[in-house]
Chains A and B, each alone.
Chain A
């Protein structure tokens, strides 16, 4: 199949104003993906579906990812003048990345028998700016999976024909697949808890844990 770089170039030529970025996958599979901006996302999707060389007519999987706020620490050796002498000092730089929610689309072509092309759409943050355009009008098969992402991650898909909860009940308020979700503490602990469960058991039963 066509390389992702050339797909990106062709999209940029065909859809003016499309914001695209190649997200590298460092693993051995090297399955790089395309992060797509919200504005032209539906038109990019239509291009991928209808283009004669791609014909990505099958959206096999849509899933959500929750990225928490992260701090990456970089150690750098910097030459500095300390007490009149030039010395090498290790400085720690912190790179703060605000968290966001992401939905990932895996696209295949049934006609041409190739794939996958991976699309990523990202929200502005994890709290109030959690909407993104729905790709259900382009691939009908994404409907239930986008509903599932809405249910479990809380992403609002704009343009989705029927955005309701699908697994949890309608009265439920949380989004259970988010990393900071706290499940109800309604089970009995195992007699020999350890690690995280031990802390929970101690909080509930006192120092001895659930023993």
Chain B
């Protein structure tokens, strides 16, 4: 619809909108996170939901104890290799549309445990992550910022066309392989379709 016409109509008290706008408006204001925490970042996540920071302002106060009812997975904390298959399985059990916020240094990269043997070096090796938040742990404001970023992202999603949202595209996968425990490491150590080791370019 033409922006000028829409503006003119709204001056006359006639509101016009699109299905896409209403649909995304509703979705972005009721993002229900999955209630689980892995480490100390979870404490900050809990603080964010409480009265002082009040995540309820963003429509995300309803933490669901079942992945079947959740829209958002906040990976809050260190993902150990022993825990990684369970985290991926929980993600697979969530219905579409689903989103992931990787919260804190550990969840995005392994953090201080990066050179250890037992911590996964970022959950984005096994599942698509929408918003990464650095910090150790990130402050509640950072999580709220991630939420607002995610809301903007949801708001911009298309319902139709080739660049439509993932959950409306039957060709896009909504489940990802769960790694199994190997003799030395997870098997496979990463999902190559999702994540490739970065190519380092030498500084001249």
B-binding residues in A (CB < 8 A): 167-174, 176, 181, 183-184, 186-188, 191, 197, 205, 208, 210-211
Contacts and interface: CB of A to CB of B under 8 A. Distances in A.
Given A169-B82, A186-B190, A188-B197, 14 more contacts: A168-B82, A169-B181, A171-B181, A171-B182, A172-B183, A172-B184, A176-B118, A183-B115, A186-B189, A191-B200, A197-B115, A205-B200, A211-B200, A211-B203
A183 to B, nearest CB: 4
Contact of B198 (A171, A174, A188): A188
Nearest to A176: B117
| Interface residue SS majority, chain A | loop
| Interface residue SS majority, chain B | loop
B200 A171 contact: no
Contacts of B197: 188
A174 B115 contact: no
Contacts of A183: 115-117
A182 to B, nearest CB: 9
B114 interface: yes
A170 B181 contact: yes
A172 B186 CA distance: 9
B28 interface: no
Contacts of B203: 211
B110 interface: yes
B181 to A, nearest CB: 4
A184 B110 contact: no
Contacts of A191: 200
7 contacts: A168-B82, A169-B81, A169-B82, A183-B116, A184-B189, A187-B114, A191-B200
Instruction: Select the residue from A176, A184, A210 with max chain B CB neighbours within 10 A.
Output: A184
A181 B117 contact: yes
Contacts of A205: 200
Contact of B184 (A174, A197, A208): A174
A187 B121 contact: yes
A171 B185 CA distance: 10
**Closest 5 pairs between A and B when the two form their complex, measured CB to CB:** A183-B117, A169-B181, A173-B183, A171-B181, A184-B185
Nearest to A169: B181
A205 to B, nearest CB: 6
Contacts of B81: 169
Contacts of B117: 176, 181, 183-184
A172 B202 contact: no
A61 to B, nearest CB: 21
A202 to B, nearest CB: 12
Nearest to B198: A188
A208 B202 contact: yes
Nearest to A183: B117
Contacts of B183: 171-173
A25 B185 CA distance: 38
A172 B117 CA distance: 11
Contacts of A184: 117, 184-185, 189
